Structure 1
């Protein structure tokens, strides 16, 4: 067998394995989608029926009637998008100051930032709630949004690893041309950080979209509830209505799948670059 044939066979086998595992990992979502449009009498059939007959698309319309989905979605977008803006504002600035600006405190500050990652959120939950309560900001979106504008250790770490690998010659050339550090950051560093910025945006958005503990802790007015709280409440009211539960789950999950597929190239590039993978 020639070397070219061996490479072709190896590539075909790799694709077959990838397709096989992709189908396995995607199967739970397909089952959820199938159950979401099934008549009630077909949900527990044995053997299972993947393609329902007839297809009950009205299950999705029922979700809109049973819960204020538009209001929940609007609130969820607030606590998912604003933290994204906060992180892409703060994390690059902090990472750039720790890696490309020479000052003595950088080598001490970064270990302290990493050390805060070791503190479980359960430890800080009560003190933070007391602080926000004394500030009169409980039952607002501020506790869920404002901390992102000061950076999160994990995203600072990702940015720092990426910015550290950027060529110093480009930054020095900008300084020689008279650019200040803010101009260098936003006109030189930002364009070169698209992969890791996309990774951070996707991770922060998914975290905000899926977050249940934060909204459950700080939001008391039902008009401000997010999708995660709405879905949890729906689970308690629709205990045996598995078709409606799956329909709600599909509507909750689908935006995340679409966002990941749209950003997957930059996302994987950012993860591989910052983690040292080749």
Structure 2
């Protein structure tokens, strides 16, 4: 017959405190390092996406001669603030804004109408391939 021995609560050994503290510290360090790397990547991508906007503002504040300088200047000297009022004289800017607002307005109306119909179809109707089409629709929304 096999002998059986039972360990009572007094004989059980808990994990040592330094060991558990080390595990907690390692997890904390990993989390902080991971978050730091993620934030640095997001800041880097933000700067990459901001460069064209900053270049556009910089170019808008340059004179015609400064625009074609090589190597280009990021900060124009002197700043040509007169470019902004001149755009209303040279280009039919107000007409362009009106056309854009009309197009955007109709796009919004069409998008709201069509998405309401599609949402109703997915919510109320059961048909073969519905789940696949829904996943495909959601996937296309993620494409910029």
Common topology (TM > 0.5): yes
C-alpha displacement of 1:40: 2.5
Counterpart CA distance in 2 for 1:46 and 1:67 is 27
- TM (norm. structure 2) is 0.65
Match of 2:65 among 35, 41, 45: 41
Counterpart CA distance in 2 for 1:94 and 1:20 is 38
C-alpha displacement of 1:18: 1.5
Q: Deviations over 1:72-113 (max 9, x none)?
A: 21122111112211221222223312x23346xx549x8xxx
Counterpart CA distance in 1 for 2:37 and 2:118 is 44
Tell me how many residue pairs correspond in the alignment. 115
Secondary structure of the corresponding residue to residue 28 of structure 2: helix
Counterpart CA distance in 1 for 2:52 and 2:60 is 12
Q: Deviations over 1:121-180 (max 9, x none)?
A: xxxxxxxxxxxxxxxxxxxxxxxxxxxxxxxxxxxx6xx559xxxxxxxxxxxxxxxxxx
Match of 2:80 among 56, 64, 67: 56
- TM (norm. structure 1) is 0.36
Q: Are 1:21 and 2:45 counterparts? A: yes
Q: Structure 1 unaligned segments of length 5 or more: list them.
A: 111-156, 163-270
RMSD value over aligned CA atoms?
3.0
What residue number does 1:101 align with? 124
What residue number does 2:18 align with? none
Match of 1:67 among 91, 96, 99: 91
Counterpart CA distance in 2 for 1:10 and 1:43 is 42
Counterpart CA distance in 1 for 2:76 and 2:61 is 7
Match of 1:32 among 56, 78, 83: 56
Residue pairs, 1:1-278, within 5 angstroms: 2-97=26-121, 99-102=122-125, 106-107=127-128, 160-161=134-135, 274-275=138-139
What residue number does 2:14 align with? none
* Structure (1/2) with the larger helix percentage: 1
Change (3 A) 1:66 1:93: same
Using CA pairs below 8 Å that are at least 6 residues apart, which structure has the higher relative contact order? 1
Q: Structure 2 unaligned segments of length 5 or more: list them.
A: 1-24
Deviating above 3 A after TM superposition, structure 1's stretches of 4 or more consecutive aligned residues are 44-47
C-alpha displacement of 1:38: 0.8
Q: Deviations over 1:210-246 (max 9, x none)?
A: xxxxxxxxxxxxxxxxxxxxxxxxxxxxxxxxxxxxx
